[in-house]
Structure formats: structure tokens, C-alpha cells
Structure 1
Amino acid sequence: MPGNSQRKGAMRKPGTKKGAQVGSGGRRRKGLEGRGPTPKAEDRYKHPAQRKAQSAAKRAGSSGRTERGPRTRSKPANAPELLVGRNPVVEAMRAEIPATALYLAERTDLDDRVREAIRLAREQALPIQEVSRNELDRLTGGALHQGIGIAVPPFEYADINDLLEDAEERGQAPLLIALDGVQDPRNLGAVVRSAAAFGAHGVIVPERRASGMTATAWRTSAGAAARLPVAQVTNLSRALVALQKAGVFVVGLDADGDVALDELEGADEPLCIVVGSEGKGLSRLVAEKCDQLVSIPMAGDTESLNASVAASVALWQVASTRGREGLTQ
């Protein structure tokens, strides 16, 4: 409109117009660079994750512990012994180990192995329990279960005297196998299977620093653990001394043994064969308690055998010496 150019503020005063600006002179460089990577949630001021981390640090400080990162889930004390994994579960059920329940996680893929496990459970009148995956994680202590697990009851260990009495009732010389610090349950299960196959009257294991009859040992024994007694002792050295007082000859398998296994005398007498751990072999105290150390002759550069293999070889040698009577009990 005519006259608007004279309105107050419509025109700049002479000498106040800004000239052309070439650059900011570096004043905006920091803004262009940004603020760096986004901090973690626990590092952000007043973030819920930060408050949670601070509370955890206070609890750790008051209890004398230091935080060592995320923890694995611990298995509940009253949880059943679970054998997990599709192949192990099917193999265990084929061997008809004394299970109490079959656990299946919700929305588990029904492949051939899972279907066979379900079929075997129905044939064996075994309860089938469908649980959430989180619940199965809790029961297994966070183990990789592939959505399936089988529960077995706690193993009932025998007494050493029961092993000797069983041999006496059969009119046979006792043949026992003792394991010194064997920690792999698969080795234990294999030894139990071999002991049953070659006519032994029982297996002896220590209570500490050694594997017990877990679900894995049950499966590896292929059902032999249901037929052969296994005794668990507090102190293996004292148990061997007790056997010696009962008239049992104790021999230990050792690569530097005094005699070769096939030259062992008195194999047809009451006998206990002691097998050492997978890596260290016989412990010093146990070796000192043995009446004799024997070695298994081997050709070539092989230094030692697996614990379960060594036990099998020794049991076969003794059974062969005793004749077929021990194998047809």
C-alpha cells in the first residue's frame, strides 16, 4: 500500500544492513561434529538402567562380592536330575532307564527324534509334561536342552558290604572295579556297562572330586546301572583298606606297573581293580594302598588308554582267566 514504506520498522536505518557473510569462522564446527556415540543405558543420567546398576553395585559392596558380569542360571536344589538334548533323551529311553517324566518345551519342533521320545514315553507309561521354555531353562540350569529333557530319580548307591555279600551268595570270588577321581560321567557309565558285561559284582566311586551316577552316566551304561550295584564311599583309600581286611586283593592299573596285566596271579581270587582318572591316573595315596600295580601291554607310541577302555581291558583279562563261569552268572 502507498505509504507503507514510511511505517516504523519497515525500512532499515542507513548503515545497519548486514553484508554478505562468507563463513562462520569455525564457530559452528562443534555443532557439525556431533556429540559422539550414544552412551549405554546404564551410563545415562537418571536412566532406569543406571539406577538398577547402582543398586546392584551397592548390594555387591554390602555383601563383600564384586560384580563379574552376567551370571548363568543356577539349578534349583529341589529340581529333578535332567538328561537333555534330543539324541541323548531318545537313547536313554531306548535303554529304558528308570525315568519319572518327559519334559517338552512349548512350541518345540516335532522332528523324528521328538516323536520317538513321545512314543516311547507312552509305551513306558511315562508322564509327558509340557512346560514353557523359561521353565525348562530353570530346571536345567540354563543348559542347551533343545526343548526336551527326561527326569531320572536320584541314584540309590549300595554299600561295599552289599557287593561282597552278593558275590558270596552266588558262590563266586568277588570282582570289583574302583574308580579314582574319574570325573566324566560318560566314562563312569561305560565302566558300569563293561563291569556288568564281564561278570563284575559292582563298581566303587568316591563321593568327592569324581562323577556320580548322573543321568548322563545312566544313559551311557545302556541300562546296566539298573542291574549292577554301584557303591559310593567317602574316602577311597580307607575303602580299599577295608576291602583288604576282608580278604580282597587290590591291584591298580598304572603305566609303570610292576607286572603286566596278563601275568597277574590270583585273578581267580577276590579282586578289586582300581582305575585312575582320565589325566593324572592313580593318585599317590590310592597307589600306595594297592597291593600291586599292573600295566596293560601296549604297542607303538601309545602312552595310555581312556579310563573306561582300560577298565574294560582289565575286566576282560580277568574274566578270561576265570573262565566262562564268571560270564554266565
Structure 2
Amino acid sequence: MSKTNAGYFFEDYRVGQVIRHAVPRTVAEGERALYHMLYPARHALYSSDVFAADCGLESSPLDDLIAFHIVFGKTVPDVSLNAVANLGYAEGRWLAPVWPGDTLRSESEVIGLKQNSNGKSGVVYVRTTGLNQNDEPVLSYVRWVMVRKRDLDAPAPEMVVPELAKTVAAGDLTVPGGLDFTDYDFDLAGEPHRLGDYRVGEVIDHVDGVTIEEAEHMMATRLWQNTAKVHFDATHREDGKRLIYGGHVISMARALSFNGLANAQMIVALNGGAHANPCFAGDTVRAWSEVLDIAETDAPGVGAIRLRLVATKGAGEGLRGEDGKYLPHVLLDLDYWALMPV
């Protein structure tokens, strides 16, 4: 019997199955430095213990997307090692800050299965929860992945497609305990714009671009212990290219959004998202955001802003063509909630 792990194939999943993912990971302060080296991330709450303390927190937590990448990376050997594509996200909620010294692990429950008409692959829906050393959930999200079949003759499972909320309701957002933006320092944060300065429908061009480097994306993906073959093995694709991890594009676009959204400090929900087209080394990533909604919270001075974050590459304008499909220059379409001073 082979001792190596070939990963799960479509016929290996069952609705209701719970997978406890290896390997727990203790995160340290160096995680922040590496993250800020890989991406132009400058949000003040994640950069300064003093700024975070002035906002009511004990110190600066680790960037919200560090938590996402680590929790996501744990799931790859079990959920997406044999994936054709990562198709989407829904119902994502950040439930507690992650602090240096925390130990994170992941669990996933299979909540849906649908075999494709070609009989060669199928879509697997999982709800993943990231937990800390106290078994407290820090993050939860649903994603669906197209996974290859090992045995093309394996019978199709009963089709179960979960009903997923289109958005996380503003009332269900979790605001970290103690967060208080009453005495928020806009000078140190980098921009004067507060929640009331934004309007639903407003589009913000984040101006700057970053060219993706081969080595940097592989270092980032290793940092999250993401083992997906397409990100590392140039022989795994017919074109001989390494596919850039979609989360690398998310972090790059979020970091670029600082220019225009410096005060959208904490991501607290992921309503939906799609990796619209592949990204490869040499592509230059740019980003724009659209304001979708604005809401109040019960925390002093803290409001919530719902944003569509779109990452693009090369020339081209717009989001979708007349056929409803994403245009070739669109890399990412992400819908999320962030906390911002009112």
C-alpha cells in the first residue's frame, strides 16, 4: 500500500463528510513582515501596535488575509490537490482576530456534490472553519471546487447543491471586541476619507500596478503551505506555466486598494468571489473598487462598507461581455465587507 498522498478525487467525497486537515500552524510576528514584503500592504491597524491600541485593541492583529491564506492552505491537500479550478466563495466571515502566537488549524464539511456532464470531474462544495488553539473559530467560509475523477466509471453521486446566501447580512458581521474608532487618527492612517465620504455606486481606481514575479508567488504560496501542483510544477500544465495562486492576486489587489480605501481597515466578511481568468508571472495587476453598500455597527465610531474589488491585467475595460462572461483582462471579482470609521 502506498504511503504517499494522492489527494481526494471527486468520487472520494460524501455529503456530510468532515475532514480534519493537517498540519496545525503556530503563527508568529515574522508572518506580518513576510506578508508586507510580498504585498504593498499598508493598512495602519495591521502595521502598528500603537495605532491598534488607540483603536481599542490589545495590539496589532495579523492581517485578515494572513488568516485566510493559512486556513485555506491547510485544506489544499484534501480539497483541491486534484482540482481543475477553484470556482467561487460565499458566506465568508472573520470571527475573531488572529494574534502572533496563535495556532491555527482547519476543518471542512462537504455540503454539496454535483458531477459534471462530461463524467470526468465534478463540483465539490465545502464549508471550511479555521480554529485557534482554544478551538475557537476565527474564520468560516464556503468554497466550491471542480475536482477530477480518478475512476471515470465511478457512479455519479446524488446531486446536492447547497443554497448559499448572496451576501453576509450587515447585522451578522463580527466586530472585534473593544474596537473603537472614536479617536481614529486619519493622518496616521494615510487618508482623510471616512464612511460618510463614500457613496453607493462610486467607483475608485486604485491607480497603481504591480507586476507579478515567479519567485514571489511561489514563496507566498509555500508560506501558506499550499501544495497545489499547478502553482509549482511547470510540467503540470500543457503550456508549461505555473498558475499564480488566486489568493496571491486577492492579497495584491487588497494591498493596492489602500490608495483610495486606506481606512477600510479590517475585512470582516466575504460575500462572494470568482477567479475570472488565470494569472501568470509577468502579468501586471491593477485594481478598482465599487462601493456596493454602507452600514452601521454597534461598535463606537465603527461602520461597515461593502466593496466589489476587481483585479485586472493588461489592457481592457469593463467587467463582463455581452454574453455575461468575464472579459479576458479580469482576474478577480471579489465582494467583501470591511470596517471603516464613521
Q: TM-score range by the shorter chain?
A: under 0.3
> Where is the strand percentage greater, Structure 1 or Structure 2?
2
Q: Structure 1-normalised TM-score?
A: 0.22
> Which protein shows a greater Rg?
1
> Where is the helix percentage greater, Structure 1 or Structure 2?
1
Instruction: Report which structure shows greater RCO (CA 8 Å, sep ≥6).
Output: 2
